[in-house]
Amino acid sequence: MAHIILYDVELTTPNEIWSPNTCKTRYALNYKGIPYKTVWLKFPEIGEEIPKITKSKERPTVPVIVDVLHGNKVVQESWEIAKYLEEAYPDTPSLFHGNIGAHFFMHEYCTRRLLPKIFKLNVLTVMKKAGEHGAWFRQTREKIFKMPLEKFVGDESQHAKAITENLDALGRVLKTYPYLTGQQVGWADICLASYITFLRVMRPDQYDALVLNDSKAGKQFAEWLKRMDKYMQLAPPAPSARI
């Protein structure tokens, strides 16, 4: 039985996991081995359905979880969900390993330094892959950014350069340790893996160039991604394959 219902966002390909924010929750649930089921929403449905579930005035976004096992508790926002899961499921593998600050630092580093640049490389592909909702996506984003999407994207080579520079620091950690905070998988790894998933799905060309084949970043990311692969799936790994 599913303990958790995870609300995720779907473009045109059914069951394709791509969203950087919902991936964090999905990979955390996979890592913890908590059974869940996914409810897929199209972009415009997020604004219609999520407020009915959260009953809050927060901007409607996914991920949102409903914890069926704990009285249908509703939690919105990937970092809030991570902290909640850690408390509500204490007998599952830890996301923070007693050092939540280190994981929050990595969360912030990846979210502030990497994600905005990856987003700029990806945004036009997200619009295309949104299919019939592409026009809605363009209109709502242009309202937020106050400019045409093409202008917002700007010079791709600058974003690629920034991604390489920021990955360099993380790659140096992975040269010495198997995971971003040392010997164990944690929230830091889950964040980075989620943002890399977003790049891989939307821009396989840039994923190859900046992550897999970059002369500085390459090798250690490829190895680390192999170690992370079992958590980066649509469904949880079989119990014996978990750690």
Ligand X SMILES: N[C@@H](CCC(=O)N[C@@H](CS)C(=O)NCC(=O)O)C(=O)O
> Closest CB to ligand X among 43 and 179?
43
Distance between terminal CA atoms of the chain? 22
Contacts with ligand X in 22-51 (CB under 6 A)?
43, 46
The CA distance from 166 to 118, in Å, is 11
CB of 190 to ligand X, least distance (A): 12
The CA distance from 124 to 134, in Å, is 9
Please, are residues 141 and 120 in contact by the beta-carbon 8 Å criterion?
no
The CA distance from 222 to 144, in Å, is 35
Per-residue binding string, ligand X, 48-87, x by CB under 6 A, is: -------------xxx-------------xx---------
Strands (E), 43-120: 64-67, 73-76
Distance of CA 67 to the CA centre of its chain: 20
> Closest CB to ligand X among 74 and 209?
74
Strands (E), the chain: 4-9, 36-41, 64-67, 73-76
Considering only 19, 54, 164, 181, the residue that binds ligand X (CB under 6 A) is 19
CB of 20 to ligand X, least distance (A): 6
> Closest CB to ligand X among 78 and 164?
78
> Closest CB to ligand X among 180 and 190?
190
188 binds ligand X (CB under 6 A): no
Can you give the binding site for ligand X, defined by CB under 6 A?
9, 19-21, 43, 46, 61-63, 77-78
